[in-house]
Amino acid sequence: MSKRIILTGGPGAGKTTILESLAQQGYRTEKDYAREIICERLAAGLSPRPSPTVFNLESFRRNQLPYEEAGKHDLTFFERGVCESVASQCLDERITQAEADRLMAEYRYDEPVFLLPPWEEIYTTDSERDQTYEHAIEVFEVIFEWYHRYDYGAEEIPTEFIEDRVEFVT
């Protein structure tokens, strides 16, 4: 039986670092595609983000195939996933609550969902992450509420050394 485990949270909370460490230990991982979209746009000389609607739809599209592919493997750790795109589309009123409910049921991940809380000491911005720390807190709160709304068992990853955080999820 395959397991799909989500590492999620706001920007700059350490998701990528944990995922990279898991990959180095031989675990199967899937990255967050938001950075990839932003990098591609910057390389093409465009603004970092398209409209929220286009950005959310593209994120959703890019997360669908890895979700399906994970069903062929024992365990895959995801840095975010379909759920965050669905939440954004619903909150922006691009899809109905009924459609969000359907998608959340169709793209169900395994528990626990690992939530990375905002951690100001490690938060940085760069060319792909231009949000403020306050925005990272807002994103975390929405993600926290959304996963709980859909009855996911969620565990908050402590703000500790990377080795401890990786051990927490394994």
CA-CA-CA-CA dihedral for 33, 84, 67, 27, to nearest 10: 70
Helix ranges (H only) for the chain are 15-24, 33-43, 52-70, 82-91, 97-106, 133-149, 162-169
User: What is the residue-averaged pLDDT of the chain?
Assistant: 91
**For residue 129, what pLDDT band results from cuts at 50, 70 and 90?**
confident
Higher pLDDT among residues 164 and 49, named by residue: 164
Write out pLDDT tens, residues 43-70.
Answer: 999 988 888 888 888 888 898 889 999 9
**For residue 91, what pLDDT band results from cuts at 50, 70 and 90?**
confident
What's the pLDDT score for residue 151?
A: 94
Give the mean model confidence (pLDDT) for residues 111-136: 88
Q: Is the pLDDT of residue 128 over 80?
A: no
DSSP state at residue 9 = E
Higher pLDDT among residues 137 and 127, named by residue: 137
Rg (CA), the chain: 15
What's the pLDDT score for residue 2?
A: 92
For residue 6 the two structure tokens come to 């989500």
Higher pLDDT among residues 130 and 162, named by residue: 162
